[in-house]
Structure 1
Amino acid sequence: MTWDLSCPDWRERIRSGRSLMPSLPDLNVERGELAVKIFDRLRIPDVVGTPLLADAAGEWFREIVFALHGSFDPETRQRMIRELFLLVPKKNAKTTLGAGLMLTSVLINDRPRAEFLDVAPTKEIAQLAFDQSAGMIDLDKGLRRRFHIQEHKKTITYLPTKATLQIKTFSPDVMTGVKPSGILVDEEHVIAEKSDASRVMGQIRGGMISQPEAFLLTITTQSEKPPRGVFKADLMQARSIRDGLVQGHTLPIIYEFPEDIQKPSTLPGEPAAWEDPACWHMVLPNAGRSITVERLKQDYAKAKADSLEELNRWASQHLNVEIGLALRNDRWAGADYWAQQADPDLTVDEIITRSDVIVAGIDGGGLDDLLSLTILGRDSVTSEWLQWSKSWVMEGVLQLRKREASQLEDFGKQGDLVIVTEPGMDVEHLSDTLGGVNKSGKLAMVGLDPQGVGLIVDALAERGIDGPRVVGVAQGWTLSGAIKTAERKLADGSLLHCGQPIMAWAVSNAKVEARGNAIIITKQAAGYLKIDPLMSLLNAVVLMSKNPQAKTTMSSFMRRGILSA
């Protein structure tokens, strides 16, 4: 049987400062209360006065301790809450409270030689977790007698049961073969940037199967970049369980603003709703203890005065605001307007139906680049520009570009990126896509970087797209006009796109450089980050700026079905 762990009224609860813990059935009250009693008696070792957790932790975390341990049935040895996903901003004592919870779990455990793990993304965070756990033991005479601390091994052994609490840095080597009774993963959003994160998290979950009482506790803040990889997958799963869309064994405790507060401002320079300190209490469960709103106001003012990039980073870490576009000081100006111009209902078929003329832009270099296609249509009634894209990448790039591998895999799952295994498959897929658009009779031109595109030109010719309709688009400073045109049309609302994450990623990767009176966006400036989808858009903008004409003379109103023939 699976418990209902949903909390569909979380928006009302978080606005009013109420608990986010759902109503849980059949809890083992005695075991839960014992766990809270043990937890409360632990002391924080690195704070003046070494206060008890009973005073330093809010009721919100005691509820977590109670639920996690109270969901365990000593007779069947089944734990109904197998995983707990906690998203909470920095400075809410998550590492300290997590250390206290894991120490409590070791003390309440009755399995001989049980293995408990505290996993952190870096050595520094792992050391902090170890110091907290070891410090809590040192401050209690009774605990000092019952525990053996091995500093060099980052291992704490509970002598009565020989159970161990080990602090480890996240890596495949240390996770292979583990069969933990309990494991805490700290800062999963950082871990997700590792190329092997999904595989290692799979090893962790696989190791839990043989022990029905095992639990996985994930404690993390929001990501400084758009969520990716295993962190994004776990966050989306936790949200789905919270909202009652799916059932699962994960208890979701997510401190994030409701959508109307979370969303960015629609006007550059205008503060977003989350910038109002009056709403910050919603996502600060430990406010008044480890953090205060007044202190955050000072940090906010400093971040806002620094740059938009720093403000976004600060908001993601201290208020759990999810980053849509990672905006930097040297960003492309169009990035400020990109999110507001998304129309998720826009598809390539919709563009074909609505447009009187269509152009396409292609960008792609060697086998370590993305091959990207943009379809850009002109609405036959409003003259708005309508954009859709697709990209292809060789499978080997995921090994070559390990920093971005999890991000590319996400785009693949979303259907906006195709991972191909053989050279030439990407060109065939792209050409087939354009061949389908060409059958509409509305494809006027295809623009592409003239360097090294022989295979693409030949493949397009096989599908009837050749001659003057295939146009070379000069790159570098000559794209300055297209860059400015695109950003102006985004700003005035006359360029719409279908809200694809891969395009938002490419837009946020773009760096602008001044060259005389021109501005350029180059792959060299972007570094290891990819901008190919954006470059394909700019190539299409060059062609649409030439005002191509429809090949038919049918009334635009008739094409849209507004008038009959």
Structure 2
Amino acid sequence: MGSPDPLEWDFSCPDWEQRLRDQRSLLPDLPLDEVEASRAVSIFDRLRLPDVPGQPAFADAAGDWARDMVRAIFGSLVDGERMVPELFELVPKKNAKTTNGAAIMVVALLMNLRPRAEFVLVGPTQEIADLAFQQASGIIDADPDGYLQKRFQVQEHVKTIVDRTNNARLKVKTFDLKVATGAKPAGVLIDELHLMAGMPHAARVIGQLRGGMIANPEAFLIFITTQSDEPPAGAFKAELDYARAVRDGRIPQGRVLPMLYEFPEAMQIAEEKPWRDPACWPMVLPNLGRSITVDRLKKEFRAAREKGEAEERRWASQHLNIEIGLALHSDRWIGADLWPRAVDVTLSYAELIARSEVIVAGIDGGGLDDLMGLGLIGRCRETKNWLGWGHAWAQPEVFDKRKEIAARLQDFADEGDLTVCEDPTEDIRGLADIIEELNTLGLLPAENAVGLDPQGVGALIDELSGRGIAEAQMIGIAQGFRLSSAVWGLERKLKDGTFVHAPQALMNWCVGNAKTEQRGNAVLITKQTAGKAKIDPLIAMFNAVSLMGRNPVAEGDNNGGLDRYLERLSA
């Protein structure tokens, strides 16, 4: 084929939405080696399903989406270099992901020319890894001609399949740090990446696998995954965001070929929820009519809806790849249902200052394994609506003691909404910097400007006092059931549209974590009811609601202060 021209290998697919509507292939036009691509598909089609009565061939049982993967990976070898080095496949449950993945890795063994090459199929859990191995070994046992049984030795005890002709091997492993130790794989398939989102070492392991593949120019990395049943986080979020950016053309000449069976964002977030219509479902079900039918899904969907919105969203995330923005649950804060529609995508810290006539601050934090949360609410000069913005600080102990949320917290840090403290007082100083700036700009009221949890705030009060914040500007906000009026007040303003907030995944997460407990006529949203999840920035926002509800007036000439602030920004 001659020397590869990287410019010819453009993985973007700008018309992906129309392709989904037409149920056409998501594989963009690529200069594939059609001979090798067709040979690989022919091998794939002749393999047989190991766990289906009659053991039909993949030619009949697999959808064309699986053949697109086979064509792209094995038809992209040019002068020994794999021009499609990575592929990200997002496909709902019950579309035979694990079985197709196992078959693709068997094809990789059969197409391989490198002696002693190592291929790895990685599952997120022991159960999924066992299933993947059983599918791969079962495909070999199902060969009616006996050729695969003669060529491959299946080692059950170490979950390895060895090619007797060249000692290449396929290893099936559970995802952990040992997967990447000393590995120089010729091919890796990672199944259900979304289940690895909470693993703090996931990105590190994937990075090490990528590093090991450099030694083999023909190496490939495939992700096959369903959408997460929680807001995407960690390595899953990073890889999915990258794949979307390549698909949409925002990253030219990206390293990954994206094949994402998901509804357009407008369909996912629309208030009328058009994705609920079964007529739309074929857009994201590439194996429809084979391993899954619309009629079967309709029954499951009805059952999920009867259990409530939280179960409906969870079901939709797994079976229709609907991305969950808020982790809703049965005892959730009612404001969580209203939060998504109150977002103002133009709002930021700078915009909050530019648009507000007065700003109040709420602060909440606990021990070293908690977040320090800041909630700012400004009152818009023109509309008088309330504008919300939040930030958080985390000590290293949070990442050590709360490993289940460490990857998610790192995402918030990468997005700029959370600061990872490098010393014990960075959170106190960071809070004071912001409040001092607002005070200098004349945006804080002369009284009741900063609301704090009365417990354990001595160091913060000392710091603020040293920055010129007057005693009258600081006030303790009673917590527990006494915060009910602020909770109810924010709910009402969310519903009537007079409170909007910045587009911050951190605050979305905290809102989704909030659990309520009824105490008589009061409602409690506390750290105790939230459990191991974090809600400090949300509690800080409630503290700010308590202050803004007093109809404060800014102390200084905030227009003059704003001019000085904008001058600093432009400089």
Same fold (TM over 0.5): yes
- Are 2:467 and 1:463 equivalent residues in the alignment? yes
Residue 268 of structure 2: aligned partner? 262
Q: What is the 5 A alignment of 1:174-253?
A: 174-246=179-251, 247-253=253-259
Cα drift, residue 545 of structure 1: 1.1
Cα drift, residue 428 of structure 1: 0.5
> Do 1:263 and 1:273's aligned partners in 2 also have CA atoms closer than 8 Å?
no
Please tell me the residue identity of whatever aligns with 2:530.
Answer: A
Residue 328 of structure 1: aligned partner? 329
Corresponding residue SS for 2:360:
strand
> What is the aligned residue count?
550
- Are 2:122 and 1:119 equivalent residues in the alignment? yes
1:64 alignment partner, one of 63, 69, 72: 69
Please tell me the residue identity of whatever aligns with 2:500.
Answer: L
Distance (whole Å) between structure 2 residues aligned to residue 10 and residue 452 of structure 1: 54
Residue 569 of structure 2: aligned partner? none
Please tell me the residue identity of whatever aligns with 2:112.
Answer: N
Give the direction of change, closer, same or farther, for the CA distance of 1:264–1:532 in structure 2 (3 Å limit): farther
Distance (whole Å) between structure 1 residues aligned to residue 270 and residue 469 of structure 2: 41
Residue 444 of structure 2: aligned partner? 443
Distance (whole Å) between structure 1 residues aligned to residue 269 and residue 347 of structure 2: 21
Residue 348 of structure 2: aligned partner? 347
Residue 268 of structure 1: aligned partner? none
State the Cα deviation string for residues 328-385 of structure 1 (Å, max 9, x = none). 1100000001011111211223222322221110001111111111111112232211
Q: What is the 5 A alignment of 1:43-192?
A: 43-73=48-78, 76-140=79-143, 141-192=146-197
Q: What is the 5 A alignment of 1:528-539?
A: 528-539=532-543
Corresponding residue SS for 1:89:
coil
Distance (whole Å) between structure 1 residues aligned to residue 186 and residue 546 of structure 2: 60
Corresponding residue SS for 2:339:
helix
> Do 2:441 and 2:556's aligned partners in 1 also have CA atoms closer than 8 Å?
no
- Identity, in percent, stands at 53
Residue 383 of structure 1: aligned partner? 384
Give the direction of change, closer, same or farther, for the CA distance of 1:431–1:552 in structure 2 (3 Å limit): closer
1:22 alignment partner, one of 18, 28, 44: 28
Distance (whole Å) between structure 2 residues aligned to residue 172 and residue 478 of structure 1: 47
Please tell me the residue identity of whatever aligns with 1:510.
Answer: A
Please tell me the residue identity of whatever aligns with 1:390.
Answer: H
Cα drift, residue 264 of structure 1: 4.3
Please tell me the residue identity of whatever aligns with 1:375.
Answer: L
> Do 1:277 and 1:293's aligned partners in 2 also have CA atoms closer than 8 Å?
yes
Please tell me the residue identity of whatever aligns with 1:205.
Answer: R
> Do 1:312 and 1:326's aligned partners in 2 also have CA atoms closer than 8 Å?
no
State the Cα deviation string for residues 33-68 of structure 1 (Å, max 9, x = none). 111111001110111111100000112211210111
State the Cα deviation string for residues 275-315 of structure 1 (Å, max 9, x = none). 11110000000000000111110110000001211111101
- Are 2:375 and 1:374 equivalent residues in the alignment? yes
Distance (whole Å) between structure 1 residues aligned to residue 382 and residue 254 of structure 2: 48
What is the TM-score normalised by the length of structure 1? 0.95
Please tell me the residue identity of whatever aligns with 1:549.
Answer: V
Distance (whole Å) between structure 1 residues aligned to residue 258 and residue 357 of structure 2: 48
Q: What is the 5 A alignment of 1:246-325?
A: 246=251, 247-265=253-271, 271-325=272-326
Give the direction of change, closer, same or farther, for the CA distance of 1:111–1:454 in structure 2 (3 Å limit): same
> Do 1:480 and 1:520's aligned partners in 2 also have CA atoms closer than 8 Å?
yes
Distance (whole Å) between structure 2 residues aligned to residue 60 and residue 443 of structure 1: 58
Corresponding residue SS for 2:20:
helix
Residue 544 of structure 1: aligned partner? 548
Please tell me the residue identity of whatever aligns with 2:481.
Answer: W
What is the TM-score normalised by the length of structure 2? 0.94
Corresponding residue SS for 1:149:
strand
> Do 2:160 and 2:172's aligned partners in 1 also have CA atoms closer than 8 Å?
yes
> Do 1:358 and 1:375's aligned partners in 2 also have CA atoms closer than 8 Å?
yes
Gaps of at least 5 residues in structure 2 are: 564-571
Corresponding residue SS for 1:332:
coil
Distance (whole Å) between structure 1 residues aligned to residue 506 and residue 71 of structure 2: 41
Distance (whole Å) between structure 1 residues aligned to residue 226 and residue 270 of structure 2: 19
Distance (whole Å) between structure 2 residues aligned to residue 506 and residue 179 of structure 1: 40
Structure 1 vs Structure 2 CA RMSD: 1.5
Please tell me the residue identity of whatever aligns with 1:295.
Answer: R
Cα drift, residue 32 of structure 1: 1.1
> Do 1:457 and 1:466's aligned partners in 2 also have CA atoms closer than 8 Å?
no
Gaps of at least 5 residues in structure 1 are: 266-270, 560-565
Distance (whole Å) between structure 2 residues aligned to residue 553 and residue 368 of structure 1: 40
2:42 alignment partner, one of 37, 40, 47: 37
State the Cα deviation string for residues 102-154 of structure 1 (Å, max 9, x = none). 00010110111110110000111011111111111111111111111111110
Please tell me the residue identity of whatever aligns with 2:263.
Answer: F
Corresponding residue SS for 1:311:
helix
State the Cα deviation string for residues 407-442 of structure 1 (Å, max 9, x = none). 000000100000012101110111011111111212
- Are 2:492 and 1:488 equivalent residues in the alignment? yes
Distance (whole Å) between structure 2 residues aligned to residue 368 and residue 553 of structure 1: 40
Give the direction of change, closer, same or farther, for the CA distance of 1:111–1:552 in structure 2 (3 Å limit): closer
Distance (whole Å) between structure 1 residues aligned to residue 351 and residue 217 of structure 2: 50
Please tell me the residue identity of whatever aligns with 1:414.
Answer: E
Cα drift, residue 390 of structure 1: 1.2
Give the direction of change, closer, same or farther, for the CA distance of 1:554–1:437 in structure 2 (3 Å limit): closer
> Do 2:196 and 2:202's aligned partners in 1 also have CA atoms closer than 8 Å?
yes
Distance (whole Å) between structure 2 residues aligned to residue 108 and residue 145 of structure 1: 16
Does 406-415 or 347-356 show the bigger shift?
Answer: 347-356
Residue 458 of structure 2: aligned partner? 454
Please tell me the residue identity of whatever aligns with 1:260.
Answer: A
Cα drift, residue 258 of structure 1: 1.3
Distance (whole Å) between structure 2 residues aligned to residue 349 and residue 411 of structure 1: 19
Please tell me the residue identity of whatever aligns with 2:550.
Answer: K
Corresponding residue SS for 2:450:
strand
> Do 1:339 and 1:499's aligned partners in 2 also have CA atoms closer than 8 Å?
no
- Are 2:533 and 1:514 equivalent residues in the alignment? no
1:11 alignment partner, one of 13, 17, 42: 17
Distance (whole Å) between structure 2 residues aligned to residue 454 and residue 42 of structure 1: 70
Residue 562 of structure 1: aligned partner? none
Residue 424 of structure 1: aligned partner? 425
Please tell me the residue identity of whatever aligns with 1:479.
Answer: L
Distance (whole Å) between structure 1 residues aligned to residue 292 and residue 83 of structure 2: 33
Cα drift, residue 555 of structure 1: 11
Cα drift, residue 552 of structure 1: 5.9
